[in-house]
Structure 1
Amino acid sequence: MREALQDTKLNDRGENKTLIRIFGKSCSKWENMGPYRSFALTCFRQFGIGASRFEESISKESTYLIQELANLKGQAVDLTRYFNNAVSNIISKVVFGIRFEFSDKHIHRLTDLLVRHHELLGSGGVEIFLPINIPSKAKQDLIKNDDEVLAFINDMIETHRENFDPNNLNDVIDMWLNEIRLHKSDDPNSFRHPDNMAGQIFLLFLAGTDTTSNTLRWGTQYLVRNPMVQDRIHREIDTVVGRNRLPKLADKPYLPYIQALIAELHRIISLVPLSIFHVAADTTTFRGYTIPKNSVVISNLYAVMHSPELWGDPEEFRPERFLDNEGNFREPDEVIPYGVGRRVCLGEALARQELFIFFAHLLHQFKFEKISEDAPMPSLKPIEGALIHPEPYELRVIKRE
Structure 2
Amino acid sequence: MSWLCRPRNLPPGPWSVPILGSLPYLAFAMYRSPMEPHRLFDTTARKYGNVFSLNAFGYTVVQRCHSPAVVVLNTYEAIKEAFQNPLLCDRPRNILAEELNVTPGVASASGESWKQQRRYSLSTLRGFGVGKRTFEEQISHETKSLLDKLRKREKQPFDPQYLIGNAVSNVICSVVFGQRYEYTDEDFKELLAINNQQAEIIGAGGLVLVIPFMKYLRPELCRLFQENVKRFVQLVNKIIDSHRTHHDPKKPRDLIDVFLTEIKENQKENLQSHINNQSLTTTIVHLFGAGTETTTTTLRWALLYMMAYPDVQSQVQQEIDNKVGRERLPQLSDIPNLPFIRATLLEIQRIATILPSGVVHCAAETTVVNGYTIPKGAFLVSNLWSVHHNPKIWKEPSQFNPARFLDPSGYVIQRPELIPFSIGRRNCLGENLAKMELSLFFTQMMHQFTFMAPNDSSELSFEGISSITYQPKPFEVAVTPRD
Q: CA deviation at 1:22?
A: 7.5
Q: CA deviation at 1:131?
A: 5.6
Give the count of matched residue pairs.
400
Is 1:58–2:139 an aligned residue pair? yes
Q: CA deviation at 1:388?
A: 0.9
Q: For 1:23-51, what per-residue CA distance to the aligned partner results, in whole angstroms no more than 9, with x for missing partners? A: 51453422211101111111111110001
Structure 2 partner of 1:378:
460
Question: Distance in 1 between the 2:437 and 2:149 partners?
Answer: 18
Question: Distance in 1 between the 2:152 and 2:213 partners?
Answer: 52
What SS does structure 2 have at the residue aligned with 1:56? helix
Q: Is the CA contact (8 Å cut-off) linking 1:180 and 1:193 kept in structure 2?
A: yes
Structure 1 partner of 2:27:
none
Q: CA deviation at 1:16?
A: 2.5
Deviating more after overlay: 302-311 vs 269-278: 302-311
Q: Which has the larger radius of gyration?
A: 2
Deviating more after overlay: 346-355 vs 196-205: 196-205
Counterparts in 2 of 1:399 and 1:100: CA distance versus 1, 3 Å: same
Is 1:392–2:471 an aligned residue pair? no
Q: CA deviation at 1:2?
A: 1.3
Question: Distance in 1 between the 2:311 and 2:480 partners?
Answer: 16
Q: Which runs of 5+ in 1 are unaligned?
A: none
Structure 2 partner of 1:258:
341
Is 1:31–2:109 an aligned residue pair? no
What are the within-5 Å matches in structure 2 for residues 66-145 of structure 1? Answer: 66-124=147-205, 126-130=207-211, 134-135=215-216, 136-145=219-228
The code of the aligned residue for 1:183 comes to N
Q: Is the CA contact (8 Å cut-off) linking 2:214 and 2:222 kept in structure 1?
A: no
Question: Distance in 2 between the 1:379 and 1:131 partners?
Answer: 35
Q: Is the CA contact (8 Å cut-off) linking 1:23 and 1:200 kept in structure 2?
A: no
Structure 1 partner of 2:379:
296
Question: Distance in 1 between the 2:101 and 2:383 partners?
Answer: 25
What are the within-5 Å matches in structure 2 for residues 1-400 of structure 1? Answer: 1-20=79-98, 21=100, 24-25=103-104, 27-124=108-205, 126-130=207-211, 134-135=215-216, 136-184=219-267, 190-372=273-455, 374-400=456-482
What SS does structure 2 have at the residue aligned with 1:397? strand
What SS does structure 1 have at the residue aligned with 2:425? helix
What is the TM-score of this pair, normalised by structure 1? 0.95
Superposition misfits of 4+ residues, deviation over 6 angstroms: none
Q: Is the CA contact (8 Å cut-off) linking 1:41 and 1:346 kept in structure 2?
A: yes
Question: Distance in 2 between the 1:319 and 1:305 partners?
Answer: 14
What SS does structure 1 have at the residue aligned with 2:479? strand
What SS does structure 1 have at the residue aligned with 2:230? helix
Question: Distance in 1 between the 2:308 and 2:269 partners?
Answer: 55
The code of the aligned residue for 1:61 comes to E
Deviating more after overlay: 316-325 vs 131-140: 131-140
Counterparts in 2 of 1:171 and 1:38: CA distance versus 1, 3 Å: same
Q: CA deviation at 1:126?
A: 4.7
Counterparts in 2 of 1:128 and 1:149: CA distance versus 1, 3 Å: closer
Counterparts in 2 of 1:125 and 1:196: CA distance versus 1, 3 Å: closer
Question: Distance in 1 between the 2:341 and 2:442 partners?
Answer: 8
Question: Distance in 2 between the 1:329 and 1:65 partners?
Answer: 29
Identity %: 37
Question: Distance in 2 between the 1:23 and 1:185 partners?
Answer: 24
